[in-house]
Amino acid sequence: MTANIPVLVILLPLCSALPCLALTKVNRHLGNAVVKIACLGSFVLSVIQLTEVVKNGPIHYAIGNYAVPYGIELVIDSLNAVLLVAFSLIGILTLIFAGNFGDRKRPMMIAAANAEIALLITGLLGMTSTGDVFNLYVFLEITSLSAYCLISLGGSRGVVSAYRYMLVGTIAATFYLLGIGILYGATGTLNMGDMAKILNEGGHDNAMLVAMCFLIPAFGIKMALFPFHGWQPSAYAHAEPGSRPLITGVMGKVPALAMFRFFFCIYGTDFRFVRLSLILLGVFSVIGMLYGSIMAMGQSDIRKILAYSSVAQIGYISLGFAIGTPISLAGAFLHMLGHAFMKGGLFFCTGAIRYKYGTADIDNFGRIYKKMPLTCGLLVIASLSMIGIPPTVGFFSKWYLALGAAGRHEWIYIAVLVISSLLNAVYFFKLIEKVFIRQSAGLKERWKSEEFELPVSIILPVVVCFLAILGLGLFNVRIIDILLMTLEGVGL
Amino acid sequence: MMNYLTALELRPLYAVLVSLIASGLIYVLGEHIRPNAREGITLTAAVLKIIIVYSMIPAVLAGTEIRLELFSIVKGVSFAFNVDAAGMVFACVASTLWILTSIYSIGYMRGHGEQNQTGYYAAFAMCLCAATGLCFAANLITFFIFFEVLTVATYPLVVHYRDAEGTMSGRKYLAYTLISGQIFFAGIVIVYAVTGTMEFTPGGFIKPDMMPMPWMLLVFFMMVGAGMVKAGVMPLHSWLPAAMVAPTPVSALLHAVAVVKAGAFCTLRVVLYVFGPEAAKACKGAEILAWMAVFTIIVSSFIAMRKYNLKARLAFSTVGQLSYIVLGICILTPYSTAGALYHIVAHAFMKITLFMAAGAIFVTTHKKDIREMVGIGRRMPYTMIAFTAASIGIAGFPFFVGFVSKANIIMGAVAMGKPVFVATLIASALLALTYLMPVVLVAFKKNVDNPEFEKYGEAAPAMLVPLIITAVISIILGVFPNAGLHLFDLAVMAGNQIFMPYM
Amino acid sequence: MMTTIDAFLAAKGIYLLTLLLLSLGVAGVIVCNNYMKKLICMNVMQVAVIFFFLCLGQKDPGTIPVAMNEAVKAAEYINPLPHGLMLTAIVVSLGTTGVGLSLLLRIKEKYGTIEEDDLLKKQAQQARRDKKRRELHHPGDDE
């Protein structure tokens, strides 16, 4: 049992997603309960797995016991073990949260959304764990297809956004396939470790460069990295409301992990064009950080604000890659974790407000803190974390990024980090101003007040995100130590 | 060396936590319990904090520093407290004044029927938590954490009234403090990358040869900038008068206790504990900053004369007085450093008296304009006598607390052979008289019994008693600078520690 | 001179063709105004990659990788792995096309058009309507 944990983490949500609809036919609560239990199991197993990895080092799991360069391998090192815990936690929180949305008279629709969320979780966890480049493609497509469906469930705009995302996303997937095709042609293997070994023997520089030209846009599109972010704001803003925290919090991060694997684990720093590609990535990140924040300032729909802010925040992560030292990479991964909870948390808040008042326009948010103190507490903490005010996690990831930049004498990156924080401050304090200062818009509650201002299934994710943002901040050194177990020696 | 933690070793942590917990309790329970119980939390926390802080004085006076390393906050650096003489001075002031301002706040807020009192008390406690934390912070990152918490916690106080004016002031406040804070952050990163340490060391840990000079100067101002903004050194002062829209106890807190003093204290830590006299002198940073302070002292006095809103006048007086501290730090002698530290104490007690008096007048008569206060001294004699005492103190008359600090700063300036600084300090004392005395004269104007004021008397005891106490303290400390808490000894000690390696 | 080009074309020309096909597909997805055409171009693009992989696995004297009774040396089989991979890719492509078609149906149902220009116009109208409704103090129930 314990030996099979890596695959069970992925399989549990997958196996629960398919019978969900059938079980809902039997009993309207049964299907959803099964999905939730499976994802909870996946979360618990990933926690066990993390402790194993921290104690005994990386786990290599060959699916179906096929010998490694031929069969599919799951590689769980300290890096993705941590990410798996965070992502599956957000997954289960999203499932708990999503039950409150959708038409209550149509249980099949709710069940369908839950099944899609479970499939999305499968894809994301699979992409995080896999050690095989083609298997990554398969999980990427599972993720994408379920994301298209979830986005299309968000009303008529959602359908159009989903269609557009599908076109762009398919281009990305095709490019990815082409990239790995070129690498496969050069090396004859699909296993990441094996491929890295062969590529490092040298002599494949041209093939690697061509593959890189396809891989950067592929991951760029999936991450919504500037300038490939065009699909993202409307897709994030119009997705099915219950699933938004997962889509916005996790979906952009996993391709970033894949990008890291290609840049630093497979290509390695001996690659002739590594500095050039890192500079290119750095330019994309810097422009993205500034552009995302500036665009976010102009929006009045909170979902759009947060979506554009994601463009900026993904820039932080890729900036960490572009700096490329172990400490900045650790910072990038800390930001990945932190931002998953911040953005997820902000969308939990948005969802909570929508649930109660049915609005997402920040001009209507006047003084809702009186009615929803807990939600607004998270809203403030998550906003401060986005800006990077200590002691939240956003500050510490920024610290490691800046420290890495200073170590490589990239002063411009430090300046950009400062400017970007200030731009974030502009629109997040605008939001805080609306919530705390503006006159009340006199909104009517759609549901009558319940015990903790909202149903427990909404308030629980809010509280967990709140604690995660502060906890990851105060005890970041523990996380950084775990991350550095893998990252030490990687990068420049 | 293994350092076993005992309950007493954790005192710096308690001092910080007590206000943090109070703040949390007030925020969560505030709306559900009676106001008396809510204010009870504040007062209990304030008393506990005073006991904790005072209990550490003997150890610090004896020359031992209470050091406490809790856990690593970022890789390679711990979240650490170190109670030294300089931090102790500020902590004593902050904790002493918290209890007085709390009592005063209760009188003011109820007397004035303010809204949003729960948030007010919670943010207030949070500010004090941050202020204590940055007194005791042992390294730059711990310091920065509390510094930013202070920035954010002050924001709700500035926008307390939730009106258009308050919102604009809040934005201005945030713009100044966040920008300077982020630049401070970048400075810390660079210093850490260059030196590999962040521990505050008396006399500094940056050696003049660590960076090329123009870059050193840039980093110096990146770091000092945050302190300059909070301390209101011109041209970075304009948030301070704007923040005047807040309720008077907030102004008292902003201008006398937590925020501006945190700025001055930040300057102290950066100039003397990070850069150190040698590097600060070598890169010319100290000198430039000193001249900016001189400019501020003179110009702010002139601006203050032209302000007829009492609180605005006091605000510009604050801008000037804070620059005394900055100037004292930048003269780089033990005397002036001790003087500057002691001026934190002196100015806190004098300015808080002035603000409390202004608030008392406002709550009682709803007058803000000095020209409308004719004859008010006869109706509110104790308030106005306290005001007069504090005004004379600000001007630096002997036997008032302002004299002790200013004399030491001047001594430092003389020792360094800076006649312009000496002249500035003396001239500004006269200028202070010219803008504060008219208030007193108007209030006590002879033979005028303004009928408008007949129905008014002294303010409620909750407001009157604290302001009389602070006025009395500022006279006692003027005569016996070491009375009670040995604050002057602490200030001198801090000065000597810093300049020990250079003597 | 000609011979080098000929030799190149003979050896790698097929890759040029797949590249051409891919470019056509990508260009179509970006340029076409009609969503149905975009979907078709998307398929063209995917097919190009499938060709690419199949070409990778091809070799000249090679036979299909099926174990037969008479002994064939392993070196004489063409590489079966790309075929296996492309089987998966075809399934994925089928799934994507299915999702795409059903989304198209929904778009047609909701907006009555699948031309991008018309759709953008209708969305702008919808946004104006929403704004008006919000101004009339009926916040709520946006999508």
**Chain B neighbors of A338, CB-CB under 8 A:** none
| Average pLDDT of the segment spanning B283-312 | 86
Amino acid at B171: R
Q: Give the bridge partners for A74, in sequence order.
A: A61, A130
Q: Band of the pLDDT at C143, cuts 50, 70, 90? A: very low
Determine which helix (DSSP H) or strand (DSSP E) holds A486, and give its type and residue range. helix A476-487
| Sign of the torsion angle spanned by Cα atoms B5, B9, B14, B17 | negative
Structure-block tokens of residue B175 = 């713009």
| Of C39, C81, C139, Cβ closest to residue A441 | C139
Question: Model confidence over A158-193: pLDDT tens digits?
Answer: 899 999 999 999 999 999 999 999 999 888 889 998
Structure-block tokens of residue A435 = 């919530």
Burial class (CB in 10 A: 0-12, 13-18, 19+), A62: middle
**Chain B neighbors of A327, CB-CB under 8 A:** 75
DSSP code at position C112: S
Determine which helix (DSSP H) or strand (DSSP E) holds A60, and give its type and residue range. strand A59-62
Question: Model confidence over B331-344: pLDDT tens digits?
Answer: 888 888 888 888 88
Question: Model confidence over A129-155: pLDDT tens digits?
Answer: 998 999 999 999 999 999 999 999 888
| Of A149, A156, A446, Cβ closest to residue C111 | A156
SS3 B344: helix
Q: Which residues contact A448 (CB under 8 A, 6 or more apart)?
A: none
- With contact defined as 3+ CB pairs under 8 Å, the chains touching B are A
Kindly state the percentage of chain C with pLDDT values over 70. Answer: 88
Question: Model confidence over B367-385: pLDDT tens digits?
Answer: 777 777 777 777 788 888 8
Can chain B be said to touch chain C, i.e. do they have 3 or more Cβ pairs within 8 angstroms?
Answer: no
**Among the listed residues A72, A60, A14, the one whose alpha carbon sits nearest the alpha carbon of residue A41:** A14
Note whether residue C141 is domain-resident: no
Question: Model confidence over B403-442: pLDDT tens digits?
Answer: 888 888 888 888 888 888 888 888 888 888 888 888 888 7
SS3 B263: helix
The full set of domain ranges for chain A reads 273-492
> What are the DSSP calls for A255-298, one per residue?
HHHHHHIIIIIII-TTSTTHHHHHHHHHHHHHHHHHHHHHHHHT
| Average pLDDT of the segment spanning B61-85 | 83
Q: Do B71 and A389 touch (CB under 8 A)?
A: no
Rounded distance, CA A428 to CA A305, Å?
Answer: 9
The full set of domain ranges for chain B reads 11-502
Task: Looking at the complex, report in whole angstroms how far the Cα of residue C7 sits from the nearest Cα belonging to chain A.
Answer: 20
ipTM of the modeled complex: 0.90
Note whether residue C15 is domain-resident: yes
pLDDT at res. B185: 92
Rounded distance, CA A245 to CA A154, Å?
Answer: 14
Q: Do A418 and B190 touch (CB under 8 A)?
A: no
| Of C53, C95, C110, Cβ closest to residue A156 | C110
| Sign of the torsion angle spanned by Cα atoms A285, A290, A292, A293 | positive
- With contact defined as 3+ CB pairs under 8 Å, the chains touching C are A
Rounded distance, CA A271 to CA B313, Å?
Answer: 66
Q: Do A414 and B171 touch (CB under 8 A)?
A: no
SS3 A392: coil
Per the structure, the count of domains in chain C is 1
Note whether residue C122 is domain-resident: yes
**Chain A neighbors of C96, CB-CB under 8 A:** 141, 144-145, 166, 170
Structure-block tokens of residue C16 = 């040029």
Question: Whose structure tokens read 């308050």?
Answer: B166
Structure-block tokens of residue B421 = 């600084």
Give the count of Cβ contacts less than 8 A between chain A and C: 100
**Interchain contact B148–A (C-beta under 8 A):** yes
Structure-block tokens of residue A444 = 């009517």
SS3 B74: strand
**Chain A neighbors of B141, CB-CB under 8 A:** 399
Note whether residue C71 is domain-resident: no
Q: Which residues contact A273 (CB under 8 A, 6 or more apart)?
A: A205, A208, A209, A212
| Of B72, B75, B167, Cβ closest to residue A433 | B167
pLDDT at res. A448: 59
Note whether residue C143 is domain-resident: no
> What are the DSSP calls for B267-291, one per residue?
HHIIIIIIIHHHHHHHTTHHHHHHH
Q: Are A20 and A111 in contact (CB under 8 A)?
A: yes
Across chain B, what does the average pLDDT equal? 83
pLDDT at res. B214: 84
pLDDT at res. B2: 45
Task: Looking at the complex, report in whole angstroms how far the Cα of residue A77 sits from the nearest Cα belonging to chain C.
Answer: 26
Q: Are A75 and A192 in contact (CB under 8 A)?
A: yes
Q: Band of the pLDDT at C72, cuts 50, 70, 90? A: low
| Of A138, A156, A167, Cβ closest to residue C29 | A167
**Chain A neighbors of B162, CB-CB under 8 A:** 436-437
**Chain A neighbors of C22, CB-CB under 8 A:** 174, 178
Structure-block tokens of residue C51 = 């060709």
Q: Band of the pLDDT at C137, cuts 50, 70, 90? A: low
pLDDT at res. C139: 47
Q: Is the pLDDT of residue B191 over 60?
A: yes
Structure-block tokens of residue B165 = 């004016």
| Of B78 and C140, more confident | B78
pLDDT along chain A (492 residues), means of 10: 85 89 85 90 93 90 86 90 93 89 80 90 93 92 92 87 92 93 89 89 85 92 89 88 89 91 86 85 92 89 89 92 90 93 91 82 79 85 90 91 89 91 90 81 64 78 91 90 87 74
Q: Do A184 and C104 touch (CB under 8 A)?
A: no
Task: Looking at the complex, report in whole angstroms how far the Cα of residue A474 sits from the nearest Cα belonging to chain B.
Answer: 6
Rounded distance, CA C141 to CA A364, Å?
Answer: 13
Q: Do A476 and B178 touch (CB under 8 A)?
A: no
pLDDT at res. A340: 93
Structure-block tokens of residue C97 = 């096309």
Where in the sequence is the domain holding C104, given as residue range(s)?
2-59+77-135
**Among the listed residues B287, B276, B268, the one whose alpha carbon sits nearest the alpha carbon of residue B206:** B276
Note whether residue C93 is domain-resident: yes
**Among the listed residues B419, B393, B434, B233, the one whose alpha carbon sits nearest the alpha carbon of residue B324:** B233
Q: Are A98 and A150 in contact (CB under 8 A)?
A: no
Q: Are A189 and A278 in contact (CB under 8 A)?
A: no
Q: Give the bridge partners for A61, in sequence order.
A: A74
Q: What is the pTM of this model?
A: 0.91
Kindly report the CATH number assigned to the domain that includes residue C112.
1.10.287.3510
**Chain B neighbors of A384, CB-CB under 8 A:** 152
pLDDT at res. A162: 92
**Chain A neighbors of C143, CB-CB under 8 A:** 154-158, 238
Note whether residue C70 is domain-resident: no
Kindly state the percentage of chain B with pLDDT values over 70. Answer: 95
Q: A416-425, B137-146, B252-261, C13-22: which has the minimum mean pLDDT? A: B252-261
Phi-psi region of A487 (alpha: psi -120 to 50; beta: other; left: phi over 0): alpha
Q: Which residues contact C129 (CB under 8 A, 6 or more apart)?
A: none
Note whether residue C40 is domain-resident: yes
